Amino acid sequence: MAAPAEETSVGVIVPQTVHFDEPLALDSGRVLPGYTLAYETYGTLNADASNAILVCHALSGNHHAAGYHHAGERKPGWWEACIGPGKPLDTNRFFVVCSNNLGGCHGSTGPTSIDPETGELYGADFPLVTVRDWVRSQARLADHLGVARWAAVAGGSLGGMQAMQWAIDQPERLRHAVVIAAAPRLSAQNIAFNEVARQAIRSDPDFQDGRYAATGDRPRTGLMLARMLGHITYLSEAAMGEKFGRERRDTRSGYHYNYDVEFEVESYLRYQGESFVDRFDANTYLLMTRALDYFDPAAATDGDLSVALSGVTAPFFVASFTSDWRFPPAASHEIVRALLDTDKRVSYAEIRANHGHDAFLMPVPRYREVFSTYMQRIAEEVGV
C-alpha cells in the first residue's frame, strides 16, 4: 500500500538565494558582472558532503522541484514523483539541490532582474546563455554549499542535457550522470518547434522588441501560443486521445459553428497557455529555447559524440520512454552508443509509457523501479 502523501513528501520548503560577485564569462563573449541563483535543498548534507545530488530542470522548470511553499499549496514541485522519502532521489539518504537556471525568471538573475550597470531591468538586453554557462554557474553554487563532488547530477529533458554537460566539463566533480528523456542535440524538427514558439512571442505587438516591462504590458497572446505549441509536443497522441479523444465541452447540442472552444482538448490547451503566462517571462522563454538549440557537445569534435564524451569519468544512467517523440529513444541510443564506443560505463532503460515526453515527470512504476535501483547503487557507493 502506498504511503500517505505527507510521508513521501519533503513537506514545506523555503527557497534560498546566493549572490556571486565574481564576474562570469559567458560563451557568447559577454560577461555578467555578478549573478544570483535561487535554489532549494531537500534532505541533509552528510559530514563529508558525499551524498549531494544536483537536479537540473527542464525548459520551463525552476528550482522548486519538490514539496510545497506553504501548507495550503495544492501543486507540489515539478519532480515530486521522484524526490522525497522512499522515492528514487531518497531524501532520507541524499541531500538534493535544485537551482533556477541562470537567465530564469524565478529568482535567479535573468531578464526580469536589474542590470547593475544601468539600474534598469535587463529585459531583452540580458545575454544569451548556454548549457555550458549553466554548468559554470552551478559549479560555484556547489562551492558555496561545500560540495566538492556531486554523488550525481540528474535531470530530464534539458536537465538531462545539463547532466551530460557536467560530465564533460567537470568530470572530477560528479560521480554519476543521470540523463533522462534527453538528446545529444536537437533535431531540425525540434529547432523548428522552438522557432515557431519564438516567433509567436516576437510577433505579438505587446512584445515591443523585448522591452515590454517598461510599458507594463506583456506579450500574453504570443507566450500563450508558444506554451500551447510546446505542450502538444510534450504529450503523445495516445495520451491526448486517452485523456480527451474528441470529447466536446457541450454535449447537449450540436456544433456551434464558430471559433469558440468546442472540444475538451482546446479548453485544456488554452488553460495551459493562460496559466503559463501568469508565471513565466517571455524573454526567458526565448532565452531557454535558444539554449536548447545551441546544445551540441559534439560540435567541438567534428560531430563525433564519442570523442566529445571520451573524457567523462562518471558512469551514466540513461533512460527514455517509448512514446516520447520529442526526444525519442533513438536519441538516447545515440548517447549510449557514444559512451560504449570509448568503453564508458552506462546503464540504459527504455520504459514503455504512453505519456509522451512528460513521462519523466510521472510516477510510472517501471520508471520509478529502475531509477530507484540505480540510485540505490549510488547510495551504497557513497555509504548512505
Q: What is the DSSP string of 84-111?
A: STTSSB-TTT-EEEEEPPTT-SSSSSST
For position 3, what pLDDT does the model report?
38
For position 257, what pLDDT does the model report?
87
Instruction: Give the residue ranges of DSSP H helices in the chain.
Output: 5-8, 131-145, 158-169, 188-202, 220-234, 237-243, 264-277, 282-294, 305-308, 329-341, 365-382
What gap in Å lies between CA 267 and CA 283, rounded to an integer?
A: 26
Instruction: List domains and CATH numbers for the chain.
Output: 16-185+297-382 (3.40.50.1820), 190-288 (1.10.1740.110)
What would the pLDDT profile of 119-144 be if each residue is shown by its tens digit? 999 999 999 999 999 999 999 999 99
Cβ neighbour number for residue 174 with a 10 Å cutoff: 25
Mean pLDDT of the chain: 95
In this predicted structure, the answer to whether residue 62 has a pLDDT above a threshold of 60 is yes
Farthest CA pair distance, the chain: 67
For position 243, what pLDDT does the model report?
86
Contact 55, 156 (CB under 8 A): no
Strand partners, 24: 32
Give the confidence band of 72 by pLDDT, cuts at 50, 70, 90: confident
In this predicted structure, the answer to whether residue 61 has a pLDDT above a threshold of 80 is yes
| Neighbouring C-alpha atoms within 13 Å toward the C-beta of 265 | 14
Amino acid at the residue 300? A
What gap in Å lies between CA 129 and CA 293, rounded to an integer?
A: 11
For position 249, what pLDDT does the model report?
82
- Per DSSP, the chain holds a count of helices (H) and strands (E) of 11, 10
Contact 362, 353 (CB under 8 A): yes
In this predicted structure, the answer to whether residue 29 has a pLDDT above a threshold of 90 is yes
* Mean pLDDT calculated for residue range 25-48: 98
For position 205, what pLDDT does the model report?
97
Query: Which residues are annotated binding-site positions for substrate?
Result: 227, 358
For position 287, what pLDDT does the model report?
98
Could you list the active site residues?
A: 157, 324, 357
What gap in Å lies between CA 58 and CA 291, rounded to an integer?
A: 11
For position 224, what pLDDT does the model report?
98
For position 4, what pLDDT does the model report?
39
Contact 222, 204 (CB under 8 A): yes
Determine the 3-state secondary structure of 350 from DSSP: strand
For position 120, what pLDDT does the model report?
93
What gap in Å lies between CA 184 and CA 163, rounded to an integer?
A: 11
Grid coordinates of 18 = 546566493
What would the pLDDT profile of 214-239 be if each residue is shown by its tens digit? 888 999 999 999 999 999 999 999 98
The conformation of residue 4, written as its DSSP 8-state character, comes to P
Grid coordinates of 173 = 566533480
Give the confidence band of 2 by pLDDT, cuts at 50, 70, 90: very low
What would the pLDDT profile of 259-295 be if each residue is shown by its tens digit? 888 899 999 999 999 999 999 999 999 999 999 999 9
In this predicted structure, the answer to whether residue 325 has a pLDDT above a threshold of 90 is yes
* Mean pLDDT calculated for residue range 168-185: 98
Q: Which residues of 265-287 are buried (b: 16+ CB within 10 A; e: fewer)?
A: bbebbeebbeebbeebbbbbbbb
Cβ neighbour number for residue 375 with a 10 Å cutoff: 24
Determine the 3-state secondary structure of 118 from DSSP: coil
* Mean pLDDT calculated for residue range 189-218: 96
For position 5, what pLDDT does the model report?
52
* Mean pLDDT calculated for residue range 256-260: 87
In this predicted structure, the answer to whether residue 154 has a pLDDT above a threshold of 60 is yes
* Mean pLDDT calculated for residue range 31-49: 98
Residue with cell 537540473: 56
What gap in Å lies between CA 110 and CA 298, rounded to an integer?
A: 27
For position 248, what pLDDT does the model report?
87
Give the confidence band of 6 by pLDDT, cuts at 50, 70, 90: low
In this predicted structure, the answer to whether residue 339 has a pLDDT above a threshold of 80 is yes
Which of 40, 39, 46, 36 lies closest to 12, judged by CA?
Answer: 40
* Mean pLDDT calculated for residue range 59-82: 95
What gap in Å lies between CA 335 and CA 161, rounded to an integer?
A: 11
